[in-house]
Amino acid sequence: MAKLIIVSNRLPVKLQEKEGELIFKTSEGGLATGLGSIYKEGDNIWIGWPGQVVEEPEKQKKVTEDLKKENMLPVFLTETEIKEYYEGFSNETLWPTFHYFSQYAVYEQQLWETYVQANQKFCDAVAEQAGPDDTIWVHDYQLLLLPSMLREKLPDCTIGFFQHIPFPSYEVFRLLPWRKELLEGMLGSDLVGFHTYDDMRHFLSSVNRIVGHGSMHGWINLSSRSLLVDSFPMGIDYEKYAGIAKTEEVGRRANIYRNNLHAEKVMIAVDRLDYSKGIPQRLDAFEKFLAKYPEFQGKVTLVMLVVPSRDEVEKYKELKEEIDEKVGRINGKFSDINWNPIQYFYRSYPLETLSALYRMADVALVTPMRDGMNLVCKEYVASRHDQSGVLILSEMAGASKELSDAILINPNDINQMVEALHEALTMPEEIQKVHMSSMQETIKRYNIHHWVSMFMDRLSYVKIKQLSMATS
Ligand code: ADP
Ligand code: G6P
């Protein structure tokens, strides 16, 4: 039977060492949490890195067997590959460039060469598993070369590619020394998907200007075949988040957390530690808000969860220090014996805790400088069991295209964020409910299952169309 092979750099679980034993934990990040709900059907398989160096053949064997039971297959990366392909080219070259932080980007030939080599390693792992009728779905910027590598090995196979982060404008993308090779890598796909129409438009413009292929209604005609480029805004597993938020246990926990905070109003922010998330800018806005509206001092608390991410990369280390310093300064300035303006937690939390925090919070602050989609804001909306609550959302997140009932802000405009905080904290409940229920309808309808079937249907359509083009 034909199967779906999902390929991404990171698997939806990551290995951790506990008391000398290797255990699996759920991975954070939108790709893993979003697709984590759907890959286990039938013979489907997910190929990716388990998040740790595993060198000993015995351990590799054990990890492989354990993952196999859960429909996963590991690609073991070496220390050098982690340093140069993952931390290096993926997260010090591509990530900053694609998020419009090109001043942070490093351009090093050695990192590029290891990126090519690691993509080849993923290609070999996939080719070993793929049958002629299987569909291969490649995910994200760590594997931009994989579609064309697979095409070379398996010329007739069906390949979809989805990019979870923004695609920058041509003027930014062209800064990359390897721009042509990267685009050619992606063009090995039959279908290339992005979260938003703008990402798709930027990609098509780069393909046109750098590789010289024009497009018509998203179709690019190569000499050998045609491929389609389209946008597919990713959703969440709505029923999962809505269902768990409604449970008695989550309600009980939400009450306990809330009582412990000694605040009339609670705001929540949940992010990976990343400069694209606008965490310092949000803290500046909150500090300014407390100074401008002193009547909220002692009354509103921001619960800020930051999950450690890419902590070997220099810019992430610097950001961690900046956040620690700002949180300390703001708490030092405004706290009193019974109240802290910010409750800051630098760690990952299980779903039940996250759900209780979403359910408890009157306001969610999602203020990235740039974000492909952002699933946290959708998780918050899905968790509002009584339709109260206000979402403050950055215009720079892909999700803002769908969630126009949020209070939309530009994260560079601190004064606008200050006023948005005031508006959110004083919004009457009946108005909150109007906006929240409208956002819930959208997220419920365009959920993760809808997203997967839209992508897969379009991929099948491309294959049929390719056949009819070849015979006409
Ligand atoms: P990104 O993919 O850039 O990290 P998203 O908002 O799309 O951003 O996805 C983040 C995912 O990681 C969400 O599903 C969120 O629930 C999860 N997450 C973020 N921070 C934490 C945390 N502290 N504990 C547990 N899960 C977290
Ligand atoms: C974003 C990226 C994913 C990545 C995730 C977590 O969601 O789009 O590809 O997996 O961040 O980052 P990490 O570097 O820990 O995999």
ipTM: 0.98
Can you tell me which residue has the tokens 């046109």? 208
| Strand ordering across the sheet containing 4-10 | 72-74, 45-49, 4-10, 135-139, 158-162, 191-194, 226-231, 219-221
For residue range 291-321, list pLDDT tens digits in order. 999 999 999 999 999 999 999 999 999 999 9
Pairing of strands 342-346, 363-366: unpaired
pLDDT tens string 31-60: 887 788 677 777 889 999 999 999 999 999
Q: For residue 379, give the ligand nearest its CA.
A: 1
For residue 300, give the nearest of 310, 289, 308 by alpha carbon: 289
Nearest to 57, CA basis, from 40, 74, 39: 74
Index of the ligand 2 atom closest to the CA of residue 8: 9
Counting ligand 1 atoms within 8 A of each CB, the residue from 10, 27, 33 with the most, and so the one to mutate, is 33
**Tokens 């070993």, located at residue:** 128
Ligand 1 atom having least distance to the Cα of 164:
2
Q: Measure Cα distances from 290 to 282, 299, 417, 422 in Å.
A: 12, 10, 12, 10
- In terms of Cβ atoms closer than 10 Å to its own Cβ (0-12, 13-18, 19+), residue 368 is buried
pTM above the 0.90 mark? yes
Bridge partners (DSSP) listed for residue 194: 231
Task: Report the alpha-carbon distance of residue 416 to residue 19 in Å, rounded.
Answer: 49
- CA-nearest residue for atom 12, ligand 2, is 29
User: Would you state the pLDDT for residue 22?
Assistant: 83
Query: What is the arrangement of strands in the sheet containing 407-409, beginning at the earlier edge strand?
Result: 342-346, 300-307, 265-272, 363-366, 390-394, 407-409
Contact 375 CB / ligand 1 (< 6 Å): yes
Q: Which ligand minimizes its atom distance to the CA of 85?
A: 2
Ligand 1 neighbourhood includes 29 CB (under 6 angstroms): yes
pLDDT, tens digit, 9 for 90 and up, residues 367-422: 999 999 999 999 999 999 999 999 999 999 999 999 999 999 999 999 999 999 99
Burial class of residue 48 (count of CB atoms within 10 Å of its CB; 0-12, 13-18, 19+): buried
217: left (phi over 0), alpha (psi -120 to 50) or beta: left
Terminus-to-terminus CA distance in the chain, angstroms?
A: 30
Out of 10, 27, 28, 31, mutate this one to test ligand 1's pocket (max ligand atoms within 8 Å of CB): namely: 28
User: Rg of the chain over CA atoms, in angstroms?
Assistant: 23
User: Per-residue pLDDT averaged across 415-437, rounded?
Assistant: 98
Ligand 2 atom with minimal separation from the 309 CA: 15
> Which is the closest atom of ligand 2 to the Cα of 165?
8
Catalytic residues: 164, 371
The amino acid that residue 13 corresponds to is V
Ligand nearest to the CA of 348: 1
Phi, psi of 131, deg, nearest 5: -95, 170
Token reading at 169: 């404008």
* Residue-wise DSSP of 200-212: HHHHHHHIIIII-
Task: Please determine, for residue 129, whether its predicted confidence score (pLDDT) is greater than 80.
Answer: yes
- State the distance from the centre of ligand 2 to the C-alpha of 221, rounded, in angstroms: 31
367 pocket-lining for ligand 1 (C-beta < 6 Å): no
pLDDT digits (tens, 9 = 90+) for 3-30: 999 999 999 999 998 888 889 999 988 7
Per-residue pLDDT band for 106 (boundaries 50, 70, 90) equals very high
